[in-house]
Amino acid sequence: MNFQQLRIIRETVRRNFNLTDVANALHTSQSGVSKNIKDLEDELGVELFVRKGKRLLGLTEPGQELVGIVQRILLDTQNIKKLGEQFSNKDRGQLTVATTHTQARYALPHIVTAFKKEFPKVNLVLHEASPSEIVAMLRDSRADIGIATEALQDTQDLAAFPWYSWHHSVVVPKGHPLTMQKQLTLEAIAEWPIVTYQSGFTGRSRIDEAFDKAELIPDIVMTALDADVIKAYVELELGIGIIASMAFSPERDVQLELLDATSLFSVNTSRIALRRGSYLRTYAYRFIELCSDRLTEKVVRDEASAARSDDTP
């Protein structure tokens, strides 16, 4: 048994059992991948994959058990490397933060600025992705920290911490009839074409829930991944926009007006997450603390550990 065999097992599951993709990802040949799998099965005395001819269709029962062990071994191997780097190069390295466009554009700039001043030799990679992609990146150790509103809190192998809460607001062109209303209502909003977030992004589920509860069918004419696109099309009078309040700037968005909709849509909570069992460098904990001074290294370590213990059968 060797690390290459373990990497192949993990990558085979990641690549949906496509051995050509596995070989490309690991920079080896497909025949080499097949041989490593067969050698490991022979050594263990069990078949790890369900096969149809030469194709792999899925995992056998022992294969399913093995994958969990393989993931822990490879994670701990990576943790050992990070541990060495922590003590040999305390202020150097790379920190990968996976987050959505909204967080990267509106919530993180001052935090990134403060972090870079404190750790100028750390290469900070800010990777914009969807919430589901962020979860996958944390699970695969392609990201150290994940920040999003959706998905993070529902994933057992991640420790997620509430960061801040926010509401949606309505954005309209200057002088729009809705600006004349004393109190904005869902019924009034539903009378206009709407431009808002794509499903799964920036609290879109809260918007849908509000209209469903009021038994209204909104005329959503366009969806986008980020508020900048939404605002651009509202300026073109394609419709009114529903965006995160923090995405509006009176200085920049001079052609638009923001209407308070706090009472119409439920509150959203953005969270910071890390993979349970993953070793983080000191500067990674410092990044989290810059986001929220209550999320100290001790708090994050202790709660991540407690959450992991609670999940252990």
77: left (phi over 0), alpha (psi -120 to 50) or beta: alpha
- Asked if 202 and 149 touch (Cβ cutoff 8 Å), the reply is yes
User: What mean pLDDT is predicted for residues 258-265?
Assistant: 95
Which structure tokens are listed for 137? Answer: 């990146």
Each residue of 293-303: pLDDT tens digit?
999 999 998 88
Tokens 């939404």 correspond to 230
* Positive or negative: CA dihedral 117, 120, 122, 126: positive
CA 102 to CA 96: how far, in whole Å?
17
The pLDDT assigned to 255 comes to 96
Check for a shared fold between 90-164+270-311 and 168-266.
yes
Q: Is residue 313 over pLDDT 60?
A: no
SS (H, E, C) 45-83: CCCCEEEECCEEEEECHHHHHHHHHHHHHHHHHHHHHHH
Question: Is the model more confident about 93 or about 267?
Answer: 267
**Alpha carbon separation from 228 to 155, 179, 202, 233 (Å, rounded):** 29, 21, 13, 9
Mean pLDDT of the chain: 89
Q: For 254-264, what is the mean pLDDT? A: 95
**Domain ranges within the chain, ordered by starting residue:** 3-74, 90-164+270-311, 168-266
pLDDT of 190 strictly over 70: yes
| Predicted pLDDT at 305 | 75
d(CA 19, CA 33) in angstroms, rounded, equals 7
Please, are residues 247 and 106 in contact by the beta-carbon 8 Å criterion?
yes
pLDDT at 81 over 80: no
Tell me the per-residue pLDDT of 226-241, one tens digit each, with 9 for 90 and over.
999 999 999 999 999 9
Q: What confidence score (pLDDT) does residue 308 get? A: 45
Residue 281 has pLDDT above 90, yes or no: no
Provide the 3-class DSSP secondary structure of residue 142: coil
pLDDT at 284: 93
pLDDT of residue 43: 85
CATH number of the 168-266 domain: 3.40.190.10
Q: For the domain bounded by 90-164+270-311, which CATH number is listed? A: 3.40.190.10
pLDDT for 24-49, tens place per residue? 888 888 888 888 888 888 888 888 88
Model confidence at 312, pLDDT cuts 50, 70, 90, reads very low
Per-residue pLDDT reduced to its tens digit, 99-150: 999 999 999 999 999 999 999 999 999 999 999 999 999 988 889 999 999 9
The answer to whether 141 and 280 have CB atoms below 8 angstroms apart is: no
Which one is predicted more confidently, 197 or 21? 197
- CA pair distance 60, 52, nearest whole angstrom: 13
**Fold (CATH) for 3-74:** Arc Repressor Mutant, subunit A (1.10.10)
